[in-house]
Amino acid sequence: MPRGKITKREIAPDMVYNSVAIAQIINHIMKRGKKNTAKKIVYGALEIIKEKTGKEPLEVFESAMENARPLLEVKSQRVGGATYQVPKPVAKDRGTALAVRWLLGTARKKKGQPMKVKLAEELIGASNNTGAAIKKKEDTHRMAEANRAFAHFRF
């Protein structure tokens, strides 16, 4: 039974860089409502990026997000008695959410440093097309390419 249209909430841009993407990553990094802690981590990571690269941190952040955003993904589709991995294009909002999830996930898995340092390293790596988040994107694209034969099952 249809339940109606789901309305997306608008995320207010952050105060320092006036960017919705940075506000989104702050919200994803936040645990148990501790937004100030999340802001310190993200802004600290952006300061580290400025020191290490000498570039504008917002440009490095946006290029990292663009490089980590997938274009294709596979979804399970049941046809008859078999389940196929069907490649599908990724919507921009979902691609951004996946990129944020992958960047933060790979930064959290690193050990022995503060989170702001780990996040800065991951963002710098992603802006240079290296790093674990980029590998995850390439694996996703490789899987979609391998299952291209099932693309006609797309619903």
Mean pLDDT value of segment 36-58: 94
Q: Is the pLDDT of residue 54 over 70?
A: yes
pLDDT of residue 153: 72
Q: How confident is the model at residue 137 (pLDDT cuts 50, 70, 90)?
A: very high
Q: Is the pLDDT of residue 134 over 70?
A: yes
Mean pLDDT value of segment 8-23: 91
**Percentage above 70 pLDDT, the chain:** 98
pLDDT of residue 155: 60
pLDDT of residue 3: 84
pLDDT of residue 151: 77
Q: How confident is the model at residue 85 (pLDDT cuts 50, 70, 90)?
A: confident
Measured in whole angstroms, the distance separating CA 55 from the mean position of its chain's CA atoms is 21
Give the chain's domains with CATH numbers: 20-72+91-130 (1.10.455.10)
Least Cα distance to 152 among 93, 79, 53, 72 occurs for: 79
- DSSP code per residue over 64-124: HHHHH--SEEEEEEEETTEEEEEEEEPPHHHHHHHHHHHHHHHHHH--SS-HHHHHHHHHH
**Residue that wins the pLDDT comparison between 149 and 89:** 89
